[in-house]
């Protein structure tokens, strides 16, 4: 590591004969010396004071530094730095993501005329923003005296002209205003802008107002006139109108789907409005030096943020995450049972899902016995899972492990209301409802998948003379499912896949709505000519209501089948452990090995593995979905200790409420909740149900 130069060395390196690279290197070294260990703002200020004192005592070195600074300003474009630094150089989200990867991975060079590159090299640490932003007025004035530049070339001695710095600030305002107008005129934004904002044309007048401000400011840049102040107010009001017009796009996005690229452009526009205000403060405020220091600190901060890939993804996908969480919360509400009738209905629906999964288990072993390559074996296994999940959706049945990713956002949404009286108690009630619903779903799945697999195996033995799997495969199943192996890890990974499928479902639904594909299916002439108007309308309604469920089921099935195949390509040996499928496999092993299996310790370890698999499938999926929903709903500062205490109290006083509904809430079995019969209508394009049914 290179040693940090001391002050005499820095002063000796100042020379009026050095080239641009040497001047840039001196700037980098001098700021590094001022920064020091980046652990004390007063220490940094003390070193800066020491440098200014030393230059004061060396007039020749001071004059050489001022000449070098002027030459630097002539070779690099300060206007571009002020107007564009920290903003994306590309208008699309994916392009900016690639650019950030480049900036993060590839080093910059001081041999540059790009002010942004030089600025990033000079102020390379977040600490620089802190010590610059904390400079007091006396120290700032000394810096201004050192780095002061003369006015631009005089054409009229009777008219004071702006300094080079002031001219750069006004030109940067012009650049930012041009970028705002370009964004405001983009078709993607105009189509989604409110009619009132679009008809008002705020972006049309922005350039005129900026030119009027520049014309009123130029005759007296050091002491703005009354006309200049009036033009400044008009320009600032016009900026507010542009910002409000752009903000009118957000309600459209909330209603009709989120475009990450458009959100990215809107955030850029808003930040450019703020940048213009900061530039105007440097020109027109009564304390321009303090505002200039704050602007420099802000530029350093946004320069550091522009290196963050995580910040880009988080900032521009937050609305999409909120939309996914909102949709999942709506669906998740229907997966939470609160009455006895709903509880029994959940058991029946889960039992139906378990029946389908017994057939899935049979097909899974058939695919394995075909001896296909890793990819094709994974593909057909995933296709088997996907078709099974879709069939369960269309029959209004349920698979237990799909519920947590939907119910977690519903629970997170309720955390917003904890400030109300009795809110914590009501939240604990919801937790009990959720746990009880999940227990019912798992019990219903497992209660039918195991006996049906045994019956299918017995039927195969009676007709074909052999069970579903042979003894060797049964032994392999016992080896795979035991808790003593990596079952817990594989079950946790499966929980992540369950969560990922819910994200894919939310993204696909948003994409479907954003591009108005339901309207295209309903009205496009080619489609209506082919299907007929009534059938096209029914298909459009069917896809709009079921696109999320179809995407979730198909993506989950393919993830369960293909992720192990791709992991095998890298030699990871990763597998999936789904509680219902694992139970079906163990039941097939029981049918093959007979009653002697109950005397094997491996069988009981497999039962323990299935219990852990169910817990991890549900817990991991719920955890990730809950954390995403908390961020999407901006739920902060939750009274966790109060919630935990209330949950412990409920466990001690009413543990049964987590497993079955209270007697006072139970309803007669024939008193189904409103709309339940309608939800059991055949789910076909000809008769479209509500996709938010708990059985989808």
∠ CA 82-84-90, nearest 5°, is: 175
CA dihedral 163, 167, 173, 175 (to 10 degrees): -150
Range 654-673 average pLDDT: 61
Contact 563, 576 (CB under 8 A): yes
pLDDT tens sequence across 607-657? 999 999 999 998 898 888 887 777 766 666 566 677 778 888 888 888 888
Q: What is the pTM of this model?
A: 0.71
Q: How far apart are CA 664 and CA 657, in angstroms?
A: 11
The DSSP symbol for 595 reads G
Split at pLDDT 50, 70, 90, the class of 323 is low
Percent of the chain scoring above 90 in pLDDT = 48
Tens of pLDDT, residues 72-106: 888 888 898 999 898 876 656 777 788 888 888 88
End-to-end CA distance of the chain: 61
Radius of gyration of the chain from its Cα atoms, rounded to whole angstroms:
33
SS3 of residue 151 by DSSP: strand
Give the confidence band of 306 by pLDDT, cuts at 50, 70, 90: confident
How high is the pLDDT of residue 411? 72
The angle that helices 206-217 and 226-247 make with each other, rounded to 10 degrees, is 160
345-391 pLDDT, tens per residue? 999 999 999 999 999 999 999 999 998 999 999 999 999 999 999 99
Phi, psi for 398 (deg, rounded to 5): -145, 155
Alpha helices in 570-600 (DSSP H): 579-593
Flag whether pLDDT at 693 surpasses 50.
Answer: no
What's the CA angle centered on 269, arms 266 and 272, to 5 degrees? 150
Answer left, alpha or beta for residue 575, where phi above 0 means left and psi between -120 and 50 means alpha.
Answer: beta
**Amino acid 255: pLDDT:** 76
- Start-end of H helices in 87-150: 93-105, 115-122, 127-133, 137-147
Out of 19-23, 101-105, 395-399, 565-569, which region has the weakest mean confidence (pLDDT)?
A: 101-105
User: Taking residues 312-326, what's their average pLDDT?
Assistant: 69
Per-residue pLDDT, 339: 85
The mean pLDDT of the chain is 85
Per-residue pLDDT, 364: 95
Alpha-carbon span 453 to 446, nearest angstrom: 11
What are the tens digits of pLDDT across the range 235-262?
Answer: 999 999 999 999 999 888 777 877 878 8
Residue 201 gets which letter from DSSP? -
pLDDT of residue 462 exceeding 70: yes
Helices and strands: H and E segment counts in the chain: 31, 0
Provide the pLDDT for residue 3. Answer: 54
Please report the pLDDT score of residue 659 as a whole number: 82
Structure tokens at 434: 């959720």
Give the model's pLDDT for residue 94: 75
Q: Is the pLDDT of residue 692 over 70?
A: no
The rounded distance, in Å, linking the Cα atoms of 339 and 429 is 12
Q: DSSP label at 635?
A: -
Query: What's the confidence (pLDDT) of residue 421?
Result: 66
For 383-421, write each residue's pLDDT tens digit: 999 999 999 999 999 988 877 766 766 776 677 666 666
Query: Hunting for tokens 């107007």 — which residue is that?
Result: 83
Is 154's pLDDT higher than 80?
no
Q: Which distant-in-sequence residues (6+ apart) come within 8 Å of 332 by Cβ?
A: 403, 406, 407, 408, 409, 410, 411
pLDDT digits (tens, 9 = 90+) for 166-178: 899 999 999 999 9
Q: Are 253 and 259 in contact (CB under 8 A)?
A: yes
pLDDT at 301: 92
The answer, yes or no, to whether residue 520 has pLDDT greater than 90, is yes
The pLDDT, as a whole number, for residue 310 is 77
Indicate if the pLDDT at residue 487 is higher than 60.
Answer: yes
Average pLDDT on 17-31 reads 86
Q: Taking 90 as the threshold, does the pLDDT of residue 160 lie above it?
A: no
Is residue 97 within 8 A of residue 264, CB to CB? The reply is: no
SS3 assignment, position 415: helix
pLDDT of residue 671: 43
> Chain-centre distance of CA 463, in angstroms?
54
**Angle of helix 309-333 versus helix 487-514 axis, rounded to 10:** 90
Distances (CA, A) of 448 to 401, 594, 610: 16, 19, 15
Q: How far apart are CA 265 and CA 246, in angstroms?
A: 10
Give the pLDDT mean for 298-305: 90
* Residue 494 confidence class, pLDDT cut points 50, 70, 90: very high
pLDDT tens per residue, range 424-440: 787 888 888 888 888 88
């Amino acid at each position: 590591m290179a040693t940090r130069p001391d002050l005499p060395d820095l002063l000796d390196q100042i020379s009026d004969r050095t080239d641009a690279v040497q001047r840039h290197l001196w700037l980098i070294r001098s700021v590094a010396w001022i920064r020091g260990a980046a652990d004390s703002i007063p220490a940094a200020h003390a070193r800066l004071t020491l440098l200014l004192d030393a230059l004061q005592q060396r007039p020749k070195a001071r004059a050489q530094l001022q000449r070098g600074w002027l030459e630097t300003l002539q070779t690099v474009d300060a206007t571009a730095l002020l107007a564009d630094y920290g903003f994306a150089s590309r208008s699309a989200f994916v392009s900016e993501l690639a650019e950030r990867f480049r900036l993060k991975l590839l080093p910059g060079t001081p041999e540059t005329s790009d002010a942004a590159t030089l600025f990033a090299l000079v102020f390379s640490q977040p600490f620089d923003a802190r010590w610059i932003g904390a400079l007091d007025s006396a120290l700032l004035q000394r810096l201004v005296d050192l780095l002061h530049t003369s006015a631009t070339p005089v054409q009229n001695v009777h008219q004071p002209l702006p300094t080079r710095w002031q001219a750069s600030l006004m030109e940067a305002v012009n650049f930012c205003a041009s970028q705002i107008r370009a964004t405001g005129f983009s078709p993607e934004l105009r189509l989604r802008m409110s009619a009132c904002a679009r008809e008002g044309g705020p972006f049309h007048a922005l350039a005129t107002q900026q030119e009027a401000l520049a014309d009123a400011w130029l005759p007296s840049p050091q002491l703005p006139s009354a006309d200049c102040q009036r033009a400044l107010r008009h320009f600032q009001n016009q900026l507010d109108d542009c910002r409000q017009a752009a903000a009118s796009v957000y309600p459209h996005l909330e209603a009709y789907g989120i475009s990450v690229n458009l959100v990215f452009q809107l955030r850029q526009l808003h930040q450019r409005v703020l940048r213009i205000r900061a530039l105007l403060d440097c020109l027109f405020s009564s304390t321009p030096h303090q505002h200039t220091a704050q602007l420099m600190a802000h530029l350093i901060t946004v320069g550091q943020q522009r290196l963050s890939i995580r910040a880009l993804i988080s900032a521009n996908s937050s609305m999409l995450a909120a939309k996914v969480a909102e949709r999942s919360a709506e669906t998740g509400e229907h997966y939470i049972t609160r009455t006895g009738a709903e509880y029994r209905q959940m058991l029946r629906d889960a039992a139906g899902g378990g029946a389908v999964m017994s057939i899935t288990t049979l097909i899974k072993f058939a695919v394995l016995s075909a001896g296909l390559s890793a990819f094709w074996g994974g593909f057909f296994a995933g296709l088997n899972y996907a078709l099974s999940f879709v069939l369960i959706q269309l029959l209004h049945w349920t698979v237990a492990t799909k519920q947590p990713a939907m119910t977690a956002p519903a629970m997170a949404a309720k955390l917003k209301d904890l400030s109300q009286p009795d809110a914590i108690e009501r939240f604990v009630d919801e937790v009990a409802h959720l746990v009880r619903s999940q227990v019912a779903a798992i019990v219903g799945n497992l209660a039918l998948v195991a006996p049906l697999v045994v019956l299918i195996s017995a039927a195969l033995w009676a007709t074909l003379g052999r069970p579903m799997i042979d003894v060797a495969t049964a032994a392999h199943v016992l080896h795979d499912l035991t808790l003593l192996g990596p079952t817990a890890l594989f079950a946790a990974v499966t929980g992540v896949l369950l969560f990922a499928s819910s994200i894919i479902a939310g993204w696909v639904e948003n994409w479907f709505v954003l591009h108005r594909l339901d309207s295209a299916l309903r009205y496009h002439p080619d489609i209506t000519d082919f299907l007929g108007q009534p059938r096209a309308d029914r298909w459009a309604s069917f896809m709009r209501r079921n696109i999320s469920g179809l995407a979730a089921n198909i993506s989950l099935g393919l993830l369960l089948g293909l992720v192990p195949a791709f992991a095998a390509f890298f030699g990871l040996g990763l597998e999936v452990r789904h509680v219902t499928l694992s139970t079906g496999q163990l039941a097939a092993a029981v049918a093959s090995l007979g009653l002697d299996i109950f005397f094997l310790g491996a069988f009981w370890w497999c039962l323990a593995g299935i219990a852990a698999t169910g817990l991890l499938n549900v817990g991991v999926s719920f955890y990730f979905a809950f954390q995403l929903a908390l961020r999407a709903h901006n739920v902060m500062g939750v009274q966790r200790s109060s919630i935990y205490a209330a949950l412990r109290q409920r466990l001690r006083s009413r543990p049964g409420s987590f497993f079955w509904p209270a007697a006072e809430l139970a309803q007669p079995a024939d008193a189904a909740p409103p709309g339940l019969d309608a939800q059991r209508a055949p789910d076909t394009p000809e008769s479209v149900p509500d996709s938010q049914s708990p059985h989808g």
